[in-house]
Structure 1
Amino acid sequence: MQRFLYILLIFVTFGCSKKISDADLKQLNGYWEIENVTFSDGSTKTYNVNTTVDYIEIDGFEGYRKKVKPKFDGTYDTSNDAEFFTIEKKNDSFVMYYQNNLSEWSESLTQLSQTNFAVIGENNSTYHYRRYEPINIQK
């Protein structure tokens, strides 16, 4: 019964959400933290605390994503590592294609707003992200 309700919730959520347009893609720019992952078997893992966040920057249909570590003063530690991607429109949806020296993979963008986005990976798991709010502790 719980699985049925979960599947129904997914259909209602995605059935009522508006289609993503080319102009909406710019909303991906910025800092994002993973909220939860729904695995292909229906189980969910929730992330209450994140020690790293993703920084995404796109220009048109190309961009990159990198992991950054927030600091308490509102700044970030980062490395020079980045995952570059291209975005392709396929049947009224968008697919992000990643490729590096070791592998290549894709994620289908299923939801996008100023505060949230979700992608489905090749393993049929859905990754839900929320806009990251920086920590800023004043002395």
Structure 2
Amino acid sequence: MKQLTIIAFLFFLCSCGHSVTKEDLTFLDGYWEIKKVNFPNGDTKTYEMNSTVDYIEITGSKGYRKKVQPLADGSFITSDDAEYFSITDREGIFIMTYESTMDTWEEEIISISETALALRNEDQITYIYERYQPIILE
């Protein structure tokens, strides 16, 4: 039953008619926490807590993405490792194309808002993110 609900939600999300606009791409900047992965066979993996979050920064049609580890004081541990990408508009569908020395891959931006992001890769796996909200311990 849970899988049927998720499939119905994805169908609604894809058929609701809202497409990503160029102006929406400004929402990419910032920290994103993965919440769910939906596989093409209907399986879903949910993430309750994460030790890392994704930081995305874009300038124009180029950007990078890196994993960072949040700390209790609100700061982050990060490395110099980053995945660089370019964003292209293919007939109203925005694609993030990543290129490294080892591989090239793409993700389609399915939906984006100030608080939510959905990306689908070439294997039709959909990644659902929420804007990261730090938990600061005093």
Normalising by structure 1, report the TM-score: 0.93
Aligned-partner residue type, residue 112 of structure 1: I
- Give 1:55 shift: 0.3
Structure 1 unmatched ranges of 5 or more: none
Alpha-carbon distance between aligned partners in 2 of 1:48 and 1:74, rounded to the nearest angstrom = 19
Alpha-carbon distance between aligned partners in 2 of 1:35 and 1:10, rounded to the nearest angstrom = 15
Runs of 4+ that moved beyond 4 A: 1-5
- Give 1:136 shift: 1.0
Alpha-carbon distance between aligned partners in 1 of 2:12 and 2:72, rounded to the nearest angstrom = 38
- Give 1:14 shift: 2.2
1:53 aligned partner: 53
Alpha-carbon distance between aligned partners in 2 of 1:77 and 1:2, rounded to the nearest angstrom = 36
Alpha-carbon distance between aligned partners in 1 of 2:8 and 2:68, rounded to the nearest angstrom = 35
Structure 2 unmatched ranges of 5 or more: none
Within the alignment, does 1:29 sit opposite 2:13 as a pair?
Answer: no
Percent of aligned pairs with the same amino acid: 43
Alpha-carbon distance between aligned partners in 1 of 2:65 and 2:90, rounded to the nearest angstrom = 21
2:76 aligned partner: 76
2:92 aligned partner: 92
Compared CA separation, residues 35 and 3, structure 1 to 2 (3 A):
closer
- Give 1:4 shift: 5.2
User: What RMSD over aligned residues (CA atoms) do the two structures have, in Å?
Assistant: 1.4
2:64 aligned partner: 64
How many equivalent residue pairs?
Answer: 138
Q: For residues 60-84 of structure 1, what are the alpha-carbon distances to aligned partners after superposition, in whole Å with 9 as ceiling and x for unaligned? A: 1100000000000000000000000
